[in-house]
Amino acid sequence: MISHPSRHCAVELQALPSRIGQVRRIVSAQLRYWHMDSLIDRASLGVTELLSNVHRHARPDKTCTVEMELLLDRLKVSVRDHDPRLPVVADAGPLATCGRGLAMVAAMSESWGVVPDGELGKVVWFTLPAPSATAPVAWDRHPRLTAGERTDHRFAEVALVEHATEGHRPAPAPARSAVAG
């Protein structure tokens, strides 16, 4: 399952609720191995939301691959599935019981995006700053879709925009998942 223990981890699975909890435990163990314990909660939350989206929306099957890559100053977590349809950030109302997953991923991550792979599917990813990175995570950033740097017009990336009021950073609330595990 682990392709190179010091920089990269990949797991292929069926995105079923019972497997999502197992992948969270794998993510936690890998981050402990990399001495990045401070990223466990946010990485587990992000991967849970992305896998829940695969479980809920992906067609024709629920097979996907979760990858974690340790880059110089950040952790990149991605989920590849076989559904070419791109996810949409929903504007969930206050009483909605679903539709907030991508907004949560955007709120807790440094950046996130989607890379379409034609009829083969897509990759949804997010990054978290490595503990050695000097910049703290800004919990008061808002996602905004922008054109990516690639020449492929289908590529979209999310840029984060800081609030105008510097210094005001609300404390993050503990994350809870509806998926057992």
- What's the pLDDT at 151? 37
Compute the residue count for the chain: 181
Q: How far apart are CA 148 and CA 29, in angstroms?
A: 32
Q: How far apart are CA 109 and CA 104, in angstroms?
A: 8
Q: Per mean pLDDT, which of 13-17, 28-32, 132-136 is the most reliable?
A: 28-32
**Prediction pTM value:** 0.67
How confident is the model over 67-107, as pLDDT tens digits? 999 988 899 999 999 999 998 877 766 766 666 778 889 99
State what percent of residues in the chain have pLDDT above 90. 44
More confident residue, 128 or 172: 128
Is 90 exceeded by the pLDDT of residue 149?
no
Region 118-147: mean pLDDT is: 67
Residue 5's pLDDT band (cuts 50, 70, 90): very low
How confident is the model over 49-61, as pLDDT tens digits? 999 999 998 888 8
Q: How far apart are CA 8 and CA 28, in angstroms?
A: 14
